[in-house]
Amino acid sequence: MSIPASISATIGEIAVWLEAAVTNEAATRITGAASLTSATGSEIAYYDGDGKSADLAAKTSAGAVITTEVGCEQLPPEVPALLVEQPRLAFAHVLERLYPRVVPEAGVHPSALVAADAVIDPTAHVAARVVIGTGTRIEAGAQIGPGCVIGRQVVIGADSRLLAQVTVLDDSLIGARCVIQPGVVIGSDGFGLVREQGAWRRVPQVGRVVIGNDVDVGANTTIDRGALDDTVIDDGVKLDNLIQIGHNVRIGVHSAIAGCAGLAGSSEVGRHCTLGGGVGLAGHLTLADNVHVTGMSMVTRSIHQPGVYSAGTPLDRNERWHRNAARFKQLDRLARRVRQLEKQLGDAPTREEDS
């Protein structure tokens, strides 16, 4: 069941928002949004028109569907369609209109503990039980949700939102229009250790975390401060939930990383990269711009050319997986036998060369 929209609009009005052509009746009032399968006659859905959900599109009872001209042909004839080039993007714009974000009242809650020299813009909102350290600056329109802890000499940029229980430790810088989900920790010490007489000694981490503008950080993600140089998350980066970002990591503009990924210290991710869920990066690696790593891959070497990269063994039936795993162990022996046979054959042409 979808949440009712706080604003309703007719199909015709939505078409104006999107500059979209409409098929069928445009007077129906839309009061919410839902999926193709669950949408009712007063709700709007979207369909990419790529055929993957054609069976769902053919059965939808939505009040209207945002789709392409090709997708429109796969809808029930009575369902109004709004024709656009990028249905999912258009649907996002409609959601922003139907479900506008609630902006809390500016001011500092009486229960907040704010250092005397902290600077909080009059238009900012500081919720209950927030702690703000000395020398920190909260800029115009920023929202600090309940229970957040912000250390010393921190900057929270204009219109950024820390939703709840976010911890931002000393000297961290967060740019404008960022969204930081509950449970995020920014600026914790990196995993810096050195051996001393058979025991581990912690190395002080004296760098910062610097986050650019329009960055999203998902729930319970952690971003370690730099050991010496800064950990840098550049403009437009999108981080999912439960990601570990090690010290001195740098992530280039408009890259996106899915949940449960782990980036070891001093790894660098280029611009416009994507890392799938559960991807691991070993330390001190560099990924070029426009590198896309599929889920559960372990990256142990730098990648210098753009493209799509994968690693790991896909899921299989248990007995077949065990059989293949046993064969993997034989690869080295088989490779040596092949080299030996090649030496015996000398310069004799291979079948591939014959062809």
* 273-288 as b/e: b if 16+ CB within 10 A: bbbbbbbbbeeebbbb
Structure-token pair, residue 326: 């046993």
Structure-token pair, residue 38: 């669950």
Distance CA 151, CA 172 (A): 8
With the C-alpha atoms ordered 108, 113, 116, 117, is the resulting torsion angle positive or negative?
negative
From the list 264, 236, 266, 239, the residue with the least C-alpha distance to 252 is: 236
Strands 9-10 and 29-30: antiparallel
Structure-token pair, residue 264: 């070891």
* Active-site residue identified among 93, 109, 247, 254: 247
Residue 67 identity:
T
With the C-alpha atoms ordered 294, 224, 151, 171, is the resulting torsion angle positive or negative?
negative
Distance CA 258, CA 37 (A): 26
Residue 93 identity:
H
Q: Phi and psi at residue 334, in whole multiples of 5°?
A: -65, -40
Helix (H, G, I), strand (E, B) or coil at 111: coil
The kind and range of the H/E element at 30 are strand 29-30
Q: What is the DSSP letter of 245?
A: E
Determine whether 247 is an active site residue: yes
Q: Which residues are catalytic?
A: 247
